[in-house]
Amino acid sequence: MTEMPSAMSVKNQVMPGQDRLMPDRENRSVFKVNSERRRLKERIFTSVILIATLMALLVLVYLITSVVIDGGNRLSWDFLSSFPSRFAAKAGIKSAIFGSMWLGGLTLIFSVLFGVGAAVYLQELANKNRLNQVIELSISTLAGVPSIIYGMLGLGVFVRFMALGRSVLAGALTMSLLVMPVIIIASREALKSVPDSIRMAAFALGASRWQTVRDHVLPAAVPGIATGVILAMARAMGEAAPLILLGALTYVAFVPEGIFDGFTALPIQIYNWTSRPQQAFHELAAAGIIVLLVFLLICNSAAIFIRYKWGSKK
């Protein structure tokens, strides 16, 4: 019995049913702990936050089950690979899927380019002067502007003034404006969390600001920036209002082949179908929602995967 002396001695000290941790409970009247009450409060607190979590989950589960019940049997290869039609039986979302992909891809390019660029400027290069403070304030304000306002802006600037027409380019530029504040704010937070010691190390080696940011600060901030971009893209994919205002088409029997082509997108197609009186089109809308959700799920998983890969490299 010599191999575990410590365990033995502990066992000898604390006998079952004997509270060694509080040997003279009666005498220490200064500390009056109502353990019963404390445990009760603990339990209430746990249940409240659990309910809060369940509420969010419940809403999602309700949404998913209701769309699956409504539109599940409409999902088929034909639905995915057909163009819209005025006959519900023949209608599909091929043009909406391709439109959304074009729109998402172009928005990703523009918003990352300009959003991350602006974040790097504001966080790493800009002096703390009045102009930059005004820019910062404007960006946080822009993040809260309703999306329909962006639609009006896009209509005025891109569609009419720049004469891009109702093209996928005009749509993507509008969407980029819409999501840029989110990307800028998230990217700035990511850059802010990169420790200053890394910057100082680079500067002390005679690096310029650009070299320091390019080789050390930005790579360290990529996981945070990726998170911001995911959230922003998820928003862009689900937005219908600004596109409707831009005049994106609702009946499109072709796939965009260039940035100046007309387009439709999943949320617009869904919106169009829900506003029709026939039950069959409502089912199609539900099926479209399922496709949109799967789309978002794939985007998010891909981004999480990239972030994980990037994080584990270090």
The residues of the shown chain that bind another protein, judged by CB under 8 A, are 127-128, 195, 197-208, 211, 215-216, 219-220, 314
Q: Which is nearer to another protein, 29 or 127 (CB)?
A: 127
Q: How far is the CB of 137 from another protein (least distance, A)?
A: 20
Q: Which is nearer to another protein, 68 or 306 (CB)?
A: 306
Q: H-type helices in the chain, by residue range?
A: 5-13, 35-71, 77-81, 94-120, 130-142, 147-154, 168-192, 196-204, 209-212, 218-238, 241-246, 266-274, 279-312
CA distance 37 to 217: 50
Measured distance between the N- and C-terminal CA atoms of the chain, rounded to whole angstroms: 47
Q: Which is nearer to another protein, 2 or 197 (CB)?
A: 197
Q: What angle do CA 138, 240, 78 make, to 5 degrees?
A: 150
DSSP state of 167: B
Question: How many CB atoms lie under 10 A from the CB of residue 146?
Answer: 11
Q: How far is the CB of 208 from another protein (least distance, A)?
A: 6
Residues 291, 265 contacting (CB under 8 angstroms): no
| 41 half-sphere exposure, CB direction, 13 A CA radius | 5
Q: How far is the CB of 10 from another protein (least distance, A)?
A: 33
Q: Which is nearer to another protein, 7 or 198 (CB)?
A: 198
The closest of 285, 295, 294 to 101, measured between CA atoms, is 295
Question: How many CB atoms lie under 10 A from the CB of residue 216?
Answer: 16
Going from the C-alpha of 214 to that of each of 87, 207, 208, the distances in angstroms are 54, 11, 10
The helix/strand/coil state of 262 is strand
Q: How far is the CB of 281 from another protein (least distance, A)?
A: 54
CA distance 179 to 158: 16
Q: Which is nearer to another protein, 214 or 276 (CB)?
A: 214
Q: How far is the CB of 213 from another protein (least distance, A)?
A: 12
Q: Which is nearer to another protein, 220 or 244 (CB)?
A: 220
Q: How far is the CB of 220 from another protein (least distance, A)?
A: 6
Q: Which is nearer to another protein, 211 or 275 (CB)?
A: 211
Instruction: For residue 167, list its beta bridge partners.
Output: 262
Q: How far is the CB of 201 from another protein (least distance, A)?
A: 5
Q: How far is the CB of 205 from another protein (least distance, A)?
A: 3
Q: Which is nearer to another protein, 20 or 128 (CB)?
A: 128
CA distance 110 to 222: 17
